Amino acid sequence: MANTVEECRELCAKYTTLREDEMKEIFPFLGELQNLAEREQANIYIDCMTFTGKSMVIVGEAFPESKGTIYTEPLFGKIMYTKNEPAVARTFVTGIPTKNVTGEEVISSRVMIQQVYPIKHRNKTVAVLIYEKLYEKQDIDNREKDLDQMERTRLDLDVNELEKIIDQMHEGLILVNTDNNICYYNGFVAEIFQELGYVGHIFGMEIHNILGNDREGRYRFQMRGYTLDGRMIDINKGSVKFAIILDDITKEEKYRAQIEDLDLRLHEERHSVKNGLMFLREFAGEKAASIGDTDERAAYSQMNDRIGMLMSITELKLQTEGEINVRQALEYVFLNKMDLVKGSKNINLSITGDEDVYVKDEPCNTIISIVYELICNSMKYAFSGRESGNIEIEIKKGYLTSQITYRDDGVGFDPEVHKEGSHGISIIRTMVEDKLNGVLKINSSADGTEVNFDFIV
């Protein structure tokens, strides 16, 4: 079960930016993993950060031979996303150990606990050593209760004894008695309500005089440009009925309003762009219909199609918030909004593959533009002398990068031979390499053409 230095080096070379001298810090741990797994009766892993900064590759793994792995299968060589491994990600960022943090739940009644330690080259964390062990939920809950009770029995402090600490809080603390009057408040509250113009102390004041009615245990107070947010905690001990923790969220509310304003402006701007494109498309369409010169008519017709693609992208952005689903975007543009395969020939266009690949605005624009160029090239060259044909676009999700494969069953071409007046492939290659940081691969024969390009998700 031991992982070799060669296997580790191969994975590091493929997925990371580690140099040889940095990899050498990892190699001594590989031979000790099985001993650690047997001694701790836990799964032991070594993870390295991939070149994307969003995932880790497992370059070392061991688990007790008597128990086996806590997972359904070995994980050596697998890619793990940082968003699913917060403890591991924290140690990579901070360079310090992260202990007793829960990982992914394996069985409903059991919890996996991680201990994460950095492996360093000089001051750089080049890898992390991870201990993973299963515990029963009930055992953890009982242990927490015992510790909590032990600590509570040691406490014998009232509010006045804690006042120095409470006054340093960056939140307000208000205690309300059974008559709904304020019976205690800290320095944060005194300062903020003085700024709001309240005269004198608010001690003894009826709580609704400063916060208004609560709504399901929440308070919202706005005055003189301030916005305060409060949450109620029931106490019901002695004369104290409840406490209110008060936050000054004035800055957050201003930022939220600014973001909403920017979103509205962006939305309006996109509508303006859409209207401008619509005017240009109508102009190009009229020109294409009225001009007698064949080449000029074809140029205006192509211009009309390109503007149609840009309009579809703009409409997609108006309908989408956050990241965009790649397959849905391609279906929306090329199946619902555009008909690039129209005409006298019977060309079938299909979009297949994974449905959970998401990208941001700009990569999505580039992907759509690349597919547009590929379809245009196929329609112009691939089906010459043919009455029918097929175009398939397939999306495949990967760990580090996802991939789009474009296929047609046309007559094929030689990718190394440049046709006069044709710049489609060079434009596509530039977009893949410069915009997506990907690699373009083309295979073409008399049976058709296959184009692959990848992009980071």
Topology (CATH level 3) of domain 163-248: Beta-Lactamase (3.30.450)
Residues of the chain with CATH 3.30.565.10: 341-457
DSSP 3-state of 34 = helix
Of 130-144, 146-160, 281-295, 298-312, give the lowest mean pLDDT range: 146-160
Does residue 83 surpass a pLDDT of 60? yes
* pLDDT level of residue 371 (50, 70, 90 thresholds): very high
Q: What is the pLDDT of residue 420?
A: 53
Does residue 141 surpass a pLDDT of 80? no
Quick: pLDDT tens for 6-47: 999 999 998 899 999 999 999 999 999 999 999 999 999 999
Q: What is the pLDDT of residue 275?
A: 66
Q: What is the pLDDT of residue 345?
A: 79
To the nearest whole percent, how much of the chain has pLDDT over 90? 26
**In 3D, which of 330, 333, 331, 326 has the Cα closest to residue 355?**
326
Residues of the chain with CATH 3.30.450.20: 163-248
To the nearest whole percent, how much of the chain has pLDDT over 70? 78
Paired residues of 129 in beta bridges:
46, 117
Signed CA dihedral, 347, 301, 337, 357: sign only: positive
For residues 337-364, average pLDDT: 84
This prediction has a pTM of 0.51
For residues 139-150, average pLDDT: 62
Strand ranges for 11-109 from DSSP E: 43-49, 55-62, 79-81, 98-102
Strand ranges for 138-225 from DSSP E: 172-177, 182-185, 218-223
Q: What is the pLDDT of residue 323?
A: 83
Task: Indicate the CATH number for domain 5-138.
Answer: 3.30.450.280
Let me know: does 21 contact 12? Beta carbons within 8 Å: no
**Most confident range, picked from 58-67, 108-117, 297-306:** 58-67
Q: What is the pLDDT of residue 102?
A: 78
Q: What is the pLDDT of residue 55?
A: 87
Of 35-49, 289-303, 313-327, give the lowest mean pLDDT range: 289-303
Q: What is the pLDDT of residue 64?
A: 93
Q: Is 3.30.565.10 the CATH number for 341-457?
A: yes
Does residue 168 surpass a pLDDT of 70? yes
CA 329-334-339 angle, to 5 degrees, is: 160
The whole-angstrom separation of Cα 270 and Cα 279 is 14
Let me know: does 442 contact 408? Beta carbons within 8 Å: no
**What crossing angle do the helices spanning 250-290 and 294-319 adopt, rounded to 10°?**
160
Quick: pLDDT tens for 181-219: 888 888 888 888 888 777 667 788 888 777 665 566 677
Let me know: does 149 contact 174? Beta carbons within 8 Å: no
Quick: pLDDT tens for 210-234: 766 556 667 777 777 788 888 888 8
Residue 392: partners with Cβ closer than 8 Å, 6 or more residues away: 349, 350, 351, 352, 405, 406, 407, 408
DSSP assignment of 407-440? EE-S----TTSPPTT--HHHHHHHIIIIIS---E
* pLDDT level of residue 71 (50, 70, 90 thresholds): confident
Q: What is the pLDDT of residue 419?
A: 57
First vs last C-alpha separation in the chain: 32
For residues 399-425, average pLDDT: 78
Mean pLDDT over each residue of the chain, to the nearest integer: 81
Does residue 155 surpass a pLDDT of 70? no
Higher pLDDT, 65 or 3: 65
Element (H, E) at 442: strand 440-445
Higher pLDDT, 160 or 16: 16
Q: How many CB atoms lie within 10 A of CB 140?
A: 15
Residues of the chain with CATH 3.30.450.280: 5-138
Q: What is the pLDDT of residue 107?
A: 47
Of 226-235, 288-297, 306-315, give the lowest mean pLDDT range: 288-297
DSSP 3-state of 287 = helix
Does residue 106 surpass a pLDDT of 50? no
Most distant CA atoms of the chain, gap in Å = 96
Q: How many CB atoms lie within 10 A of CB 202?
A: 19
